[in-house]
Amino acid sequence: MTAGTVRLGTASPGTRPTTAETLTQLEHITRRAASKKIDILLLPEAYIGGYPRGTHFGCVIGARSEEGRNEYLRYFQSAVDLGDTVGDGAGAGAAWVNRELPSDSVPGLDGGEDASNISNKRGDGTREELERIARETKVFIVTGLIEKTGGSMYCSVVYTGTERLVWAQGSPATLRAVSTIIRGVRINLAAAICWENYMPLVRQALYAQNINLYLAPTADGRDSWLSFLRTAAIEGRCFVLSSNMCVRNTPTPNGHAAISSKSQQSDGTGGASQGDASPPARAGTHHRRSSCVTEEGFEIALPSPPAPPTSSHPRARRQSVLDDDGNEIVLHASDDSPKPITTTTTTTTTSPAAPLTKPAHPSPTPTFTSRGGSSIVSPFGEVLAGPQWEDDAGLIYADVDFADCIRGRLDLDTAGSYSRNDSFKFSVQGLDLAPLPYS
């Protein structure tokens, strides 16, 4: 590394079955990051606590199921308790940061001890464990987690984002950027989670605070996510760091995808081909399988087409499956459905007017529930590392010069000279938008 540069890093690990196992994995990843001299490490949305992909908690319009409520209970119990309060959705703020909140110990349950005499005994210890790992490794850790406080859960990093079904609404006050100095360089960083990043006013709230590092942990594994990252980098003239879980689709008895316990570790490096969002080729195969990719980036393997029908074996009804967007994917081509769709290795056909049928045999299971896609992008939209596809063990990183953010302001400053603040006034309830300094 050269003087004045900072090493940004990210990875795509999946959540482990328990919080303790996930924290152990987080520590292992962070210590590897420290060995690579990574200064700031971003880990995925909901990494601690788990992202409930594919779960509906028994909810349909007008009804809830008992099984779904029990599933929600298990998810709530797996969320972490950082010892914060609900407040207006922004938590206790500085009082929590400075450990000024009263203890949550219950008198009479611990030997009759008065809770007011027990300092900082709040939460389940996750906060203290994360602080210990960061302190020992000297790595600035930003990780997504599912936090519970009161009777609600929040999808959190340093700041709180929201999903509308199961996670509670956070306060916009938590979009406050923070400032730190690493290797003599001032870094103003802020985070928004997943599709909150698609909200233009959320992004403007971050840009207005003069950030030079935009953190975007996500659960979006589509190729189009990289386009957003490049847009945000150019808009904000800031480095953008994104992390998404890579989850292997290993079926378990309860039907959910299990997380791989892959032990082999591999490292990525910066300088990946820019904008290449294609998954890596699989080694050891003799021929490429026929498959197609959904809009979410999931590959669905297709069986070989059947032999042409004969008089003794008339043509059967076509077999198909539906992807998450409700699009039909035909498993056996038929002559009466001539409209082609592009696949990775072959062409199959579909006819939207024909009735949908379930396949007689289950379709092949996708290799990955989530393919990852963690990336690092420069203030000029250049992809410095990633996307990290189908790799739940590696680290990707890039050495960056934060002076590039100033260089980029020569011709674009969306919160300053380009904002037309003589005509447009922007404010956020409860959030101080005063820009942070660069020095």
Q: In sequence order, what are the residues at sequence separation of 6 or more whose Cβ sits closer than 8 angstroms to the Cβ of residue 398?
A: 7, 8, 9, 270, 271, 376, 384, 385
Farthest-apart Cα atoms in the chain, separation: 87
Cis geometry, peptide bond prior to residue 253 (ω within 30 degrees of 0): no
At 281 the pLDDT is 37
At 265 the pLDDT is 31
Cut 0.75: pTM above it: no
At 161 the pLDDT is 34
Q: What is the mean pLDDT of residues 238-255?
A: 78
Q: Are the beta carbons of 194 and 222 closer than 8 angstroms?
A: no
b/e code 313-348 from CB counts within 10 Å (16+ = b): eeeeebbbbeeeeeebbbbbbbeebeeeeebeeeeb
264 has pLDDT over 90: no
HEC profile for 30-62?
HHHHHHCCCCEEECCCCCECCCCCCCCCCEECC
Q: What tens digit of pLDDT does each residue of 89-118 get? A: 778 888 888 888 888 665 555 554 554 455
At 241 the pLDDT is 97
What is the distance between the alpha carbons of residues 219 and 177, in angstroms, rounded to a whole number? 22
Q: What is the mean pLDDT of residues 33-51?
A: 95
Q: Are the beta carbons of 207 and 236 closer than 8 angstroms?
A: yes
Q: In the structure, what pLDDT confidence band is assigned to residue 210 with cuts at 50, 70 and 90?
A: very high
Q: What are the residue ranges spanned by the domains of the chain?
A: 5-102+122-249+367-410
Q: Are the beta carbons of 12 and 388 closer than 8 angstroms?
A: yes
Q: In sequence order, what are the residues at sequence separation of 6 or more whose Cβ sits closer than 8 angstroms to the Cβ of residue 378?
A: 233, 239, 384, 400, 404
Q: Does domain 5-102+122-249+367-410 have CATH number 3.60.110.10?
A: yes
Q: What is the mean pLDDT of residues 244-252?
A: 78
Q: Are the beta carbons of 301 and 343 closer than 8 angstroms?
A: no
Q: What is the mean pLDDT of residues 177-182?
A: 90
At 256 the pLDDT is 38
- One-letter amino acid identity for 226? L
At 361 the pLDDT is 56
* Crossing angle of helices 19-35 and 126-137, rounded to 10°: 10
Phi, psi of 220 (to 5 degrees): -90, 110
What is the distance between the alpha carbons of residues 143 and 153, in angstroms, rounded to a whole number? 16
What is the distance between the alpha carbons of residues 204 and 214, in angstroms, rounded to a whole number? 12
- Pick from 14-23, 74-83, 277-286, 290-299: least confident: 277-286
At 100 the pLDDT is 86
Highest mean pLDDT among 178-182, 235-239, 280-284, 307-311: 235-239
CA distances from 274 to 16, 376, 378, 396 (A): 31, 10, 11, 14
At 269 the pLDDT is 34
At 106 the pLDDT is 57
What is the distance between the alpha carbons of residues 46 and 24, in angstroms, rounded to a whole number? 16
410 has pLDDT over 70: yes
Q: In the structure, what pLDDT confidence band is assigned to residue 218 with cuts at 50, 70 and 90?
A: very high
At 302 the pLDDT is 47
357 has pLDDT over 80: no
221 has pLDDT over 80: yes
